[in-house]
C-alpha cells in the first residue's frame, strides 16, 4: 500500500470518528431512554419496527463503524503482531466487510423482525 | 509492563493512549457480538427475547457498565486527539477537556442506566 | 578532597557481550562503586568508571557542556544527556542504572550505532532544497510570520537521539521515521525558501511517517531542548492531508 493510500486511510478514520462522535452521543441517549422504557425484546422492537429514520440512522452508524474500527485495528495488528503487506490489508478488508454485513443485518433485523 | 518499562511512559499523554487503545480493543471485541445479538430479531421477537434472557445476570450487567465507560472514554480520547491533530490547543488543555468529557459522560450514563 | 565513607554510588552499567561482536540485545548489567561528589553529573560517573575501574568500558561524549548531544544515554530508564544530568537529581537510594539509547544497535556497551537515526533524517527529506545562488539577493523570510514561528520552535534540534530512543512507535515499527526526522521535515515545510515541499510531504506520509504517530508524546516529554515534537508531527498530518485533498500528494 502506498503512503498516499495510507494517508487516505488515516483521513477516513478521522472523518468516520467525527461521524461516530455524533452517532454515539445519539445512541447513548437512546439507551438511557430505552433502559427506562423497557429493554425486553418486544419493547425494543416496538420502538424500532418499521421506523425508517432509525433504520437510516443505524445503517449510517454501521458504515462509519465498518470504516473506523478496521483501520484502528490495522494499527494494532501491525504494531503488536507485526503483520505487514497483503496479510494485514486482507485481514483489514475482511473485518470491514464482516462488520458491514453483520451490522446492516442487525439494523434490518430490528426494522423488520421476523414473525413471532 | 514492568516497572522499569513504565517509568519513561508514566505521563498523561501516554496514559491517554493506553486508555484509548484498551477501550478501543474492548469495543472491537464487543461490537461483532452486539450485531450478532441484535440479528436474532430476524427470527422474531421471541428469538431475540430468548437470547436476551441469557444476558440477564450480574456478570453481563457489569460488562455492560464497563462497555459504557469504555465507549465514553474512547469518545473523549478521540475528541482530544482530533483537537491535538487539527487545532492549536495546548496539550494540557486537551487532556483536561478529554478527562472532563469522559467523567461527565460515564457518570451520567452510569447513573441513568442504573435506574430501572 | 575528602570523600565521606558513605558517599558512594552503586552504578549498574550495561555491558555488551564478550569480544568478537555483539548480538542484538546481548549483554548484562555490571555494578561499579563510584565515589560521590557534589555537582557530579552522570557523565562524570561514567568517565570515572572508565578511568579508574574498567578501561574497556565503551561510551561516547564530546563537548560535555550540553551542546553536542553525543553523551545521550538511558539513565534509570529515561533517555537523557548525561553531561547535563546531576546525579543528585536521578540517583535513588545511592543507585544509578546507565544503559545505551534504545531502538538503535549497540556498537559496544553504552555506544550505539546512530546510522539508522540519520538515514531516516535523510529519508524524511530533512535537507534544504533552494534555488537561489549567491548572485541573487537574500531570500526574505518574515520574522513575524506563523511559518517562521513554527520553524523557530523546532530548529534547535541537535540530533541527539533521545526522542528516537523514547518513542514506542519506533520500537514497534522499524520503518517509522521517528520524531527528530519529522520535526526537521516540519521546519523545512515551513521554510518559505524551500522548493522540495511536494517530495517532502510524500516522504513523511503513511505508515512509516507522520500518520503512524499515536501522540504518546514521550518524545516531547524527554527532549532536552523542549522542542514541541508531537506538535510538529501533527503539523505534518495537517499538511499532508491538505496536499492529499488537493491531489498534490
Q: In chain C, what residues touch B17 (CB-CB under 8 Å)?
A: 214-216
| DSSP β-ladder status, C78-81 and C27-35 | unpaired
Instruction: Answer yes or no: do C221 and B4 touch at CB < 8 A.
Output: no
**Does pLDDT of C23 surpass 70?**
no
pLDDT at position B111 is 65
Any chain B CB within 8 A of the CB of C149? Answer: no
Instruction: Answer yes or no: do B7 and C76 touch at CB < 8 A.
Output: yes
pLDDT at position C5 is 46
Q: Which of C78, C215, C220 sits opposite B8 (nearest CB)?
A: C78
Model pLDDT for residues A77-101, shown as the tens digit of each residue? 999 999 999 999 999 999 999 999 9
pLDDT at position C95 is 96
Give the gap in angstroms from C-alpha C1 to the nearest C-alpha of chain B: 35
pLDDT at position C25 is 61
C-alpha cell at B53: 434472557
Give the structural domain span for B102: 3-114
Q: Which of C172, C206, C241 sits opposite A6 (nearest CB)?
A: C206
Q: Report how far apart, in Å, the C-alpha atoms of A99 and of each of A57, B66, C103, C104, C107 are.
A: 16, 22, 37, 40, 48
- Residue C33 near residue C10, CB atoms below 8 Å: yes
pLDDT at position B54 is 82
Any chain C CB within 8 A of the CB of B2? Answer: no
Model pLDDT for residues B75-110, shown as the tens digit of each residue? 989 998 998 999 876 767 777 777 877 777 777 777
C-alpha cell at A47: 420502538
Instruction: Answer yes or no: do B4 and C166 touch at CB < 8 A.
Output: no
Give B65's pLDDT tier (boundaries 50, 70, 90): confident
The set of chains that have 3 or more CB pairs under 8 A with C is A, B
C-alpha cell at C157: 534540534
- Residue C86 near residue C40, CB atoms below 8 Å: yes
Give the gap in angstroms from C-alpha C184 to the nearest C-alpha of chain A: 19
The set of chains that have 3 or more CB pairs under 8 A with A is B, C
Domain C8-112, architecture per CATH: Roll (3.10)
Give the gap in angstroms from C-alpha C38 to the nearest C-alpha of chain B: 26
pLDDT at position B91 is 67
Which residues 6+ apart lie within 8 Å of C143 measured at CB?
A: none
3-state secondary structure of C96: strand
Computed over every residue of chain C, the mean pLDDT equals 93
3-state secondary structure of A85: helix
Give the span between the Cα atoms of B97 and C29, in whole angstroms. 43
**Does pLDDT of C171 surpass 80?**
yes
C-alpha cell at A33: 431512554
Instruction: Answer yes or no: do A79 and C211 touch at CB < 8 A.
Output: no
Q: Which residue of C has its CA nearest to B8?
A: C78
Give the gap in angstroms from C-alpha B28 to the nearest C-alpha of chain C: 18
What is the count of structural domains for chain A? Answer: 1
Give A114's pLDDT tier (boundaries 50, 70, 90): confident
Test mutation, C177, C202, C207, C212, chain A, max A CBs within 10 A: C207
Model pLDDT for residues C109-168, shown as the tens digit of each residue? 999 999 999 999 999 999 999 988 889 988 899 999 999 999 999 999 999 999 999 999
pLDDT at position C174 is 94
Instruction: Answer yes or no: do A42 and B71 touch at CB < 8 A.
Output: no
- Homologous superfamily of C115-245: Alpha-helical ferredoxin (1.10.1060.10)
DSSP conformation letters of C107-168: EETTEE--HHHHHHHHHTT-S------TTSPPPP--TTSHHHHHHHHHTT-----HHHHH-H
Q: Which residue of B has its CA nearest to C234?
A: B85
C-alpha cell at C227: 522542542
Q: Which residue of A has its CA nearest to C236?
A: A7
Kind and range of the H or E element at C219? helix C218-222
Give the span between the Cα atoms of C165 and C219, in whole angstroms. 8
- Residue C81 near residue C44, CB atoms below 8 Å: no
* Mean pLDDT, residues C80-92 taken together: 96
Instruction: Between C17 and C42, name the one with better pLDDT.
Output: C42
**Does pLDDT of C97 surpass 90?**
yes
Q: In chain B, what residues touch C79 (CB-CB under 8 Å)?
A: 8
Give the span between the Cα atoms of C185 and C199, in whole angstroms. 11
pLDDT at position C50 is 97
* Mean pLDDT, residues A2-24 taken together: 96
**Which of B10-24, C4-18, C70-84, C87-101 is predicted least confidently?**
C4-18
For cell 427475547, the residue is B49
Model pLDDT for residues A14-55, shown as the tens digit of each residue? 999 999 999 998 988 887 777 777 677 788 888 888 999 999
- Residue C240 near residue C211, CB atoms below 8 Å: yes
Instruction: Answer yes or no: do B86 and C77 touch at CB < 8 A.
Output: no
* Mean pLDDT, residues C26-30 taken together: 91
Domain ranges of chain C: 8-112, 115-245
pLDDT at position C6 is 55
pLDDT at position B41 is 82
Q: Considering the entire predicted model, what is its pTM?
A: 0.93
Give the gap in angstroms from C-alpha B41 to the nearest C-alpha of chain C: 39
Give B49's pLDDT tier (boundaries 50, 70, 90): confident
Any chain C CB within 8 A of the CB of A2? Answer: yes
Test mutation, C205, C210, C234, chain A, max A CBs within 10 A: C205
Give the span between the Cα atoms of C11 and C41, in whole angstroms. 13
pLDDT at position B116 is 45
Model pLDDT for residues C173-189, shown as the tens digit of each residue? 999 999 999 999 999 99
pLDDT at position C20 is 47
* Mean pLDDT, residues C40-58 taken together: 97
pLDDT at position C215 is 95
Give the span between the Cα atoms of A106 and A86, in whole angstroms. 30
Q: Report how far apart, in Å, the C-alpha atoms of C70 and of each of C81, C98, C109, C122, C246 are.
A: 8, 15, 15, 19, 42
Q: What is the CATH number of the domain that holds B94?
A: 1.20.1300.10
Amino acid at each position: 500500500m502506498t503512503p498516499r493510500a495510507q494517508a487516505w486511510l488515516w483521513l477516513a478514520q478521522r472523518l468516520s470518528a467525527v461521524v461516530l462522535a455524533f452517532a454515539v452521543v445519539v445512541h447513548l441517549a437512546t439507551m438511557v431512554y430505552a433502559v427506562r422504557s423497557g429493554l425486553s425484546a418486544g419493547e425494543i422492537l416496538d420502538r424500532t419496527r418499521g421506523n425508517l429514520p432509525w433504520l437510516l440512522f443505524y445503517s449510517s452508524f454501521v458504515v462509519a463503524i465498518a470504516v473506523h474500527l478496521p483501520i484502528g485495528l490495522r494499527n494494532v495488528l501491525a504494531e503488536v503482531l507485526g503483520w505487514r503487506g497483503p496479510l494485514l490489508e486482507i485481514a483489514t478488508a475482511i473485518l470491514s466487510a464482516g462488520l458491514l454485513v453483520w451490522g446492516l443485518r442487525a439494523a434490518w433485523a430490528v426494522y423488520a423482525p421476523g414473525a413471532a | 509492563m514492568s516497572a522499569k518499562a513504565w517509568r519513561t511512559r508514566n505521563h498523561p499523554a501516554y496514559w491517554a493512549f493506553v486508555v484509548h487503545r484498551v477501550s478501543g480493543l474492548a469495543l472491537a471485541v464487543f461490537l461483532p457480538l452486539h450485531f450478532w445479538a441484535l440479528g436474532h430479531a430476524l427470527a422474531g421477537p421471541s428469538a431475540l427475547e430468548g437470547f436476551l434472557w441469557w444476558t440477564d445476570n450480574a456478570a453481563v450487567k457489569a460488562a455492560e457498565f464497563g462497555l459504557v465507560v469504555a465507549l465514553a472514554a474512547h469518545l473523549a480520547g478521540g475528541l482530544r486527539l482530533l483537537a491535538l491533530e487539527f487545532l492549536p490547543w495546548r496539550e494540557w488543555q486537551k487532556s483536561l477537556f478529554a478527562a472532563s468529557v469522559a467523567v461527565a459522560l460515564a457518570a451520567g450514563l452510569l447513573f441513568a442506566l442504573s435506574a430501572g | 578532597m575528602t570523600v565521606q565513607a558513605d558517599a558512594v554510588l552503586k552504578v549498574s552499567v550495561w555491558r555488551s557481550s564478550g569480544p568478537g561482536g555483539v548480538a542484538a540485545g546481548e549483554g548484562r548489567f555490571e555494578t561499579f562503586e563510584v565515589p560521590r561528589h557534589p555537582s557530579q553529573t552522570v557523565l562524570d560517573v561514567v568517565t570515572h568508571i572508565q578511568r579508574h575501574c574498567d578501561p574497556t568500558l565503551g561510551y561516547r561524549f564530546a563537548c560535555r557542556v550540553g551542546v553536542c548531544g553525543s553523551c545521550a544515554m538511558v539513565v534509570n530508564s529515561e533517555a537523557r544527556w548525561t553531561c547535563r544530568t546531576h546525579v543528585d537529581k536521578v540517583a535513588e537510594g545511592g543507585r544509578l542504572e546507565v544503559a545505551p539509547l534504545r531502538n538503535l544497535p549497540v556498537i559496544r556497551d553504552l555506544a550505539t550505532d546512530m546510522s539508522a537515526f540519520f538515514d531516516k533524517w535523510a529519508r524524511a527529506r530533512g535537507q534544504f532544497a533552494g534555488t537561489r545562488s549567491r548572485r541573487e539577493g537574500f531570500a526574505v523570510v518574515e520574522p513575524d510570520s506563523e511559518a517562521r514561528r513554527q520553524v523557530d520552535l523546532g530548529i534547535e534540534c541537535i540530533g541527539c537521539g533521545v526522542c528516537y530512543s523514547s518513542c514506542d512507535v519506533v520500537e514497534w515499527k522499524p520503518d517509522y521515521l521517528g520524531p527528530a526526522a519529522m520535526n526537521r521535515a516540519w521546519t523545512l515545510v515551513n521554510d518559505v525558501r524551500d522548493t522540495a515541499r511536494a517530495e517532502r510531504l510524500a516522504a513523511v506520509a503513511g505508515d512509516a511517517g507522520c500518520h503512524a504517530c499515536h501522540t504518546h508524546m514521550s518524545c516531547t516529554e524527554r527532549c532536552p531542548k523542549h522542542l514541541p515534537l508531537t506538535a510538529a508531527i501533527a503539523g505534518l498530518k495537517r499538511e499532508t492531508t491538505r496536499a492529499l485533498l488537493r491531489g498534490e500528494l
